[in-house]
Amino acid sequence: MTIEFGREVCGFLPASERREWLVTNGIGGYASGTVAGLLTRRYHGLLIAALQPPLGRTLLLARFDETADYDGRRYNLFTERRADGSLVGHGYRHLERFRREGTVPVWAFTCADALLEKRVFMARGANTTYIHYTLRRAARPLTLHISAQCSHRDHHANTRAGDFALRSTPIADGLAVSVDGTTALYLRSDRASAEPSRRWSGEHLLQVEVERGLEPIDVHVTAGTFQVTLEAGQSCTFVASTEPEVDLDGEAAYTAQRDFEEGLLETAQWAESPIAPLVLAADQFVVRRNVEDTAGHTILAGYPWFSDWGRDTMISLP
């Protein structure tokens, strides 16, 4: 079963901001968001790292604000809801299609006659998120500008401007982001240039938190900007990780993820079954946990709120 949405959902914000995606790393960390690219929960972000696996879930990279320069025109590919409820960016207007390849969400943006694909997935067993772009079709070069919006908070919390001191430092292939003197995040790319920053963004509104009756205002820090020019058929990989050394080969990392999922389905003997998506979804709740220095596995009660809380896990199994 393939999950795929066309313009009727992607271009209609009330529908696309209510459809959410989730990818996980097998140790309690995750990335999540909406089809529209708009953050509507405090739990949305590109890297929510499990710093004490499977616990200690901390939002490190909230989002990439992308703009594309193509054929003399600039296209906003991001969408943000400001504190007063107004929208900026309106990137969903350029979202032609959204689909899922296994567990991997794929966005297809059109900029005139150019088609840019974006994939988000995580490395197994690591607090590492890959954001991979491919220019599938274009008559001329496309330049992608990305503003990395970072944070450093518990995923249940909210941030106010000045809550922590962030510093962004150039390193080989990207930036090292430190918070209160401790390096928390490495942002790297296989071909994009990087420029550090540490500017607090404006307040933005998390609409679902309004409905839940919780604090809905959050703030991020622009830790840096990236720029890359792509020709038709070319790709660019960005990696957000707590690890100082990561593989920047996005194609190889994506192949490893798909091989893992195909192997999982073969083991379950449901590779060609309509239940295959449920097999992949269920596996995301199985994570590694060390108990008294002994490696084992446990089952999370649910994303994004719960850890391996036995009572709720048993309730959910039926």
Cβ proximity of 78 and 154 under 8 Å? no
Cβ neighbourhood burial of 110 (10 Å; 0-12, 13-18, 19+):
middle
Q: Where are the beta strands (DSSP E) in 141-213?
A: 142-154, 166-171, 174-179, 182-189, 193-200, 204-205
Long-range (24+ apart) CB contacts under 8 A made by 290-293 are: 290/53
pLDDT score for 1: 57
Contact indicator for 38, 81 with CB cutoff of 8 Å? yes
Q: How far apart are CA 268 and CA 280, in angstroms?
A: 10
Residue 104: both structure tokens together: 């991997």
Would you call 279 helix, strand, or coil by DSSP? Answer: helix
CB 45 within 8 A of CB 220: no
Q: Is the distance from CB of 302 to CB of 27 less than 8 angstroms? A: no
Tell me the C-alpha distance between 314 and 24, whole Å: 21
Q: What is the largest CA-CA distance in the chain?
A: 60
Q: Write down the pLDDT at residue 293.
A: 73
What are the C-alpha distances in Å from 144 to residues 42, 227, 229? 27, 6, 6
Per-residue pLDDT of the chain (318 residues; tens, 9 = 90+): 578 999 999 999 999 999 999 999 999 999 999 999 999 999 999 999 999 999 999 999 999 999 999 999 999 999 999 999 999 999 999 999 999 999 999 999 999 999 999 999 999 999 999 999 999 999 999 999 999 999 999 999 999 999 999 999 999 999 999 998 887 899 999 999 999 999 999 999 999 999 999 999 999 999 999 999 999 999 999 999 999 999 999 999 999 999 999 999 998 887 778 888 889 999 999 999 876 677 789 999 889 988 888 888 888 777
| 243/128 Cα distance (integer angstroms) | 7
DSSP category for residue 302: -
The SS3 call for residue 36 is coil
Task: Please tell me the distance from the alpha carbon of residue 279 to that of residue 261, in angstroms, as a whole number.
Answer: 9
Whether the bond between 277 and the residue before it is cis, its omega within 30 degrees of 0, is no
Amino acid at 228: V
Q: Both tokens of residue 72?
A: 């003399």
pLDDT value, residue 271: 73
Cis peptide bond upstream of 141, omega within 30 = no
- pLDDT the model gives residue 269: 82
pLDDT on residue 207: 97
pLDDT number for residue 116 = 98
